[in-house]
Structure 1
Amino acid sequence: MTHVLQNVVFPLERDPDLLPLYADPETWSVIDEEPVRVSSVAHLGNVLDRRSARVVAGRRVSFGTYFNAFPASYWQHWTSVRRVHLTVRTTGPATVLVYRSNGSGVKQRLETREVDGEAESSFDLVLDQYSDGGWIWFDIVADESNVLFRGAEWTTDHEPIRPRGASLGITTFNKPDYCVATLTDLANAPEALEVIERIYLIDQGTALVSDQEGYADVAARLGDKLRIIRQPNLGGSGGFARAMLETLDADESDFVQLLDDDVRIEPESVRRSITFGRYASEPTIVGAHMFDLLDRPKLHAWAEVVDEQPFMWRNLFQERMPHDFSVANLRQTPLLHARLDADYNGWWMCLIPTAILRDVGLALPAFIKWDDAEYCLRAGEAGYPT
């Protein structure tokens, strides 16, 4: 049976600032060892829908980007998947090129295909040379006329280790508008809902999500998947602990996926993190990254650690963060090609297997600080990595 590991996607929103995270049609150079973008040709009008886009005649578009490159080193290190299949669908005269990188960010071309008409290009890729880092991605070059990119997926025939999906746990305090937007994005993402068993929205506020405009419609669409739970304001930790407890009691999921309330999510990332957790060789806490809500292509942290002296959490390579993908995209940033290991992940989006919950317990009652870092450290001492 074929399992989709990643869908190639484009932004949910018509926001040009988001484009560098999904596709890169720009020309880059290097000045004084720093990347410099020397073109500005990205255009929202070339994004046709969530899965397809136009590649203008004579241009080259790279999918070696944050959301659409395949993180080969993490899949090789944390899972037993060793063969991945890439399928790219196009219409028109084009060249499809597949690349890989190593842990230093040095790229190498793996395959080249010349296509025309309605074409489906398939590439079988082996994950056996990515121990220290590296991504795999593809570029499309349009020839004498425009090319329609009709979608792509990264798949495997390998069966997941854990059969069930995740329950989402969203803790909120007086952010009903954000919560309804998140629920709406999830309702519009059937691929994500396939691996989401339940959505627990822990409402600890006075401005209730259930009273927000648009809630009734999205609740009807989500049906029994959505459950609103009211409780006093016990902080983020208290809300997330309740979601953990509800997930354990229901026993219908192999994970709880914790989400902040004041966020804009990428549903494909939710689906990918759950999929990755299902394939992890051992129960593993799977973290996600946080971007700046007001400066969308800016990444706050790639991996986070806790120093013993002084005892404090911080970004790994914090002198290089935040990172702006509009200034230097993934292919131009060697640091992000190394496999970086973390001590913990913030609970803005974090997947925790129920096996770990049963072994190490619920969140520390710390209200809003240190609950996420402490939990991952506690799990690490019990032998569960992040």
Structure 2
Amino acid sequence: MLEKSEFIAQKLLAPDPYINSEGALFYHCAGNSGYDSVRRHYYVEKGGKLVFDSYFNCFPLHLYDLTDEHSLEVRIKAKGKSIFSAGQAHWQKSGDMLIETHIDFSNEDEQLSVPIPLMEESGVIFLEFTAREPLEIYDVEFVIIGPRRREVSVCAVITTYKRDREVQNTAKRLEAYFSRNADIAPLFRLIVVDNGGETDTVPFSAARVIKNPNYGGAGGFMRGLLETIDDGRASHALFMDDDASFFPENIRRTLAVLSFSKHSNLAISGAMITKLHKWMMWEDTATFRGGCRPLHTGRDLRHFMEVMTCAFDKPFMSPSRYGGWWYFCFPIAEAKTLTFPFFVRGDDIYFSLANNFQIIAIPGVVSIQEDFSEKQSPLTLYLDMRNHIVQNLTFLNGKKSARADLKMMRSFFWRYNTAYHYETAAAINLAIEDVMKGATFWEENLDMAQKRAEIAKLMAQEKIKTPLPYDPNYVFAPRPIRRPRLMGFLRKATFNGHLLPGFFFYKKGRILSLSDRAIGPQLFRRPFAIHIDQSNGAGYQVEINRRKFFKNWLKFCRLTWAYKLRYGRLLNAYSEFKQKRTSSGFWQQRFGMQITSADK
């Protein structure tokens, strides 16, 4: 351990309309209390109560490996009279009342320290203020006193492609944050890898911009990692999206957990919340076992029990767990294998599975961004299909058979081909075909320019138009799917209506949201479907086309038969690819960087 010191592990967060303003994710209250967004402080009127048992403001003590050499304090800046208490919640068992006391805050500039006892079993700590007189709360800090287990410094990497405005805004937020948090400013620096040629400088004093060929997120992040290694000052790298919103407080909490962890291979994966539903968990890390399985999707983070479930109900060490690169901080020394040249989609999964990281999530460390389902297109499904096949061939080698891969491919393909998304189904076929070409394909298509153009030519119906004109009198909204046996049998036997003659179909189509695409039962006996974002009118229309359906299906059958025959050779090819083409030398050669003998 290092010398004894004080480390501010966590500060109080407040709602911010530019990031997340869901009040119940920050606090719960009774009586006249809440957050004053004009004066920028929390308030509690006499008799009211403010409780920070919330996603953003609970303190996950169970993630810190503290010993008898450590102590914990809460430091508060406030004005007024309060009954202050600190509780500790545990998973599926009774909690602890750690402290309860009367505190008079006479001066808003004065900081009062309250020692918090450390119990034998640690959980999640939450604070509660009950006002005896009107109370204003300006700041709360959780401070760990004692030796850190290791020195941690972070170099963040943002890969951007023609999103200069978003990158500039992120850099401004970071500059403002670290100007107010000088204690951790020396522990953080930033590299912006510009794949699109738009970003030359950013307004953050500890940042530099690197121009890079457009090899997608995979190439951009690997360039940033190699530059970080060459620089030699950071112990950890942090990959972040260029279009995500986040509280810079994420960085303090990440530094704190890593500094007091006994695990040298610990990695922090930020959760993801979508801009559509800022109260709901989208993904709190995920696992890959033949397919992507996000953890805790749909949990309502306004409720503390749901927050507790996210905090505790995850395996600490899972060989199939991965973290998304919207926010992923990992020890550089443990990154023995670099990622696969996917361009985008799947590079984060591959990187996590290929390296010995212990991946955890921290409550409140989260990225807020667009729902992935709203970005869906034939191109993204092409990328997803490639990603799934390669992960299975590389990491499930010997654990599953070709039959499992074919079942996964059939699930992807059949969903879209039966739901009138023939262009997406054709792109899925193209992905299977390309994966079977082996190493040569990936080396020749690092920038994906040719493939992106090829898939763009496929897109006619499924290209989003803004606004999309349609007649609301000729569409029906989605309804609960009824599943009578006869109708279900008829739907399956006719391939969702593709074998039925036209007179069996209704005259009106179906209207669905962009996030509810390719739901076959909703389209049964409907001649067309409109997928639209009602907030801005963007959408597209698909129509039943029997010729395209059977053309795609026949090609899929040929491809999957060929895949089954070549399965053994493909396993060997992708195992060899992992050994020879995911090294530093492989990527350095593509970037024109100097290759040392150790990197070859």
TM range (shorter): 0.7 to 0.9
- Name the structure 1 match of 2:44: 55
The alpha-carbon deviation at position 196 of structure 1 amounts to: 4.2
8 Å contact 2:77–2:138 — kept in the other structure?
A: yes
DSSP 3-state at the match of 2:228: helix
Report the Cα distance in structure 2 between the residues aligned to 1:83 and 1:127, rounded to whole angstroms. Answer: 11
- Name the structure 2 match of 1:19: 23
Equivalent residue in structure 1 for 2:327, among 342, 345, 349: 349
DSSP 3-state at the match of 2:120: coil
| Larger relative helix fraction | 2
Matched, 1:75 2:39: no
- Name the structure 2 match of 1:277: 258
Equivalent residue in structure 2 for 1:286, among 268, 281, 291: 268
- CA gap of 1:60–1:116, structure 2 versus 1, over 3 A, is same
- CA gap of 1:280–1:263, structure 2 versus 1, over 3 A, is same
8 Å contact 1:16–1:44 — kept in the other structure?
A: no
- CA gap of 1:332–1:351, structure 2 versus 1, over 3 A, is closer
Letter in 1 for 2:276: L
1:319-353 Cα offsets, whole Å, 9 max, x none, are xx222334xx2256552352523611111001011
Letter in 1 for 2:36: G
- Name the structure 2 match of 1:202: 193
Report the Cα distance in structure 2 between the residues aligned to 1:93 and 1:15, rounded to whole angstroms. Answer: 31
Report the Cα distance in structure 1 between the residues aligned to 2:145 and 2:53, rounded to whole angstroms. Answer: 24
* Alignment gaps of 5+ in structure 2: 360-600
- Name the structure 2 match of 1:141: 130
The structure with the largest alpha-carbon Rg is 2
The 5-angstrom pairing of residues 1-386 of structure 1 reads 1-13=5-17, 17-25=21-29, 44-45=35-36, 48-49=39-40, 52-76=41-65, 83-104=71-92, 106-118=94-106, 120-126=112-118, 128-130=120-122, 134-143=123-132, 145-190=133-178, 191=181, 194-206=185-197, 208-210=198-200, 219=203, 222-223=204-205, 225-281=206-262, 282-307=264-289, 311-317=290-296, 321-326=297-302, 329-331=303-305, 333-341=307-315, 343-357=321-335, 360-380=336-356, 384-386=357-359
Query: Taking CA–CA contacts closer than 8 Å with sequence separation of 6 or more, which of the two structures ends up with the larger relative contact order?
Result: 1
Letter in 1 for 2:54: T
Letter in 2 for 1:304: A
The alpha-carbon deviation at position 313 of structure 1 amounts to: 2.0
* Alignment gaps of 5+ in structure 1: 28-40
Report the Cα distance in structure 1 between the residues aligned to 2:37 and 2:83, rounded to whole angstroms. Answer: 18
- CA gap of 1:81–1:246, structure 2 versus 1, over 3 A, is farther
1:123-153 Cα offsets, whole Å, 9 max, x none, are 22315313xxx3111011112x310113111
- CA gap of 1:57–1:255, structure 2 versus 1, over 3 A, is same
8 Å contact 2:238–2:327 — kept in the other structure?
A: yes
DSSP 3-state at the match of 2:355: helix
1:24-81 Cα offsets, whole Å, 9 max, x none, are 2258xxxxxxxxxxxxx775536733xx42222221111111121111222249x998
DSSP 3-state at the match of 2:169: helix
Q: What is the number of residues matched between the two proteins? A: 343
Letter in 1 for 2:295: L
TM-score by length of 1: 0.81
Letter in 1 for 2:220: G
8 Å contact 1:305–1:344 — kept in the other structure?
A: yes
- CA gap of 1:209–1:324, structure 2 versus 1, over 3 A, is farther
Report the Cα distance in structure 2 between the residues aligned to 1:368 and 1:80, rounded to whole angstroms. Answer: 46
The alpha-carbon deviation at position 15 of structure 1 amounts to: 7.3
- CA gap of 1:80–1:262, structure 2 versus 1, over 3 A, is farther
8 Å contact 1:70–1:135 — kept in the other structure?
A: yes
Report the Cα distance in structure 2 between the residues aligned to 1:375 and 1:157, rounded to whole angstroms. Answer: 35
8 Å contact 2:269–2:328 — kept in the other structure?
A: yes
- CA gap of 1:162–1:105, structure 2 versus 1, over 3 A, is same
- CA gap of 1:4–1:43, structure 2 versus 1, over 3 A, is closer
Report the Cα distance in structure 2 between the residues aligned to 1:80 and 1:297, rounded to whole angstroms. Answer: 38
Letter in 2 for 1:351: C
8 Å contact 1:53–1:148 — kept in the other structure?
A: yes
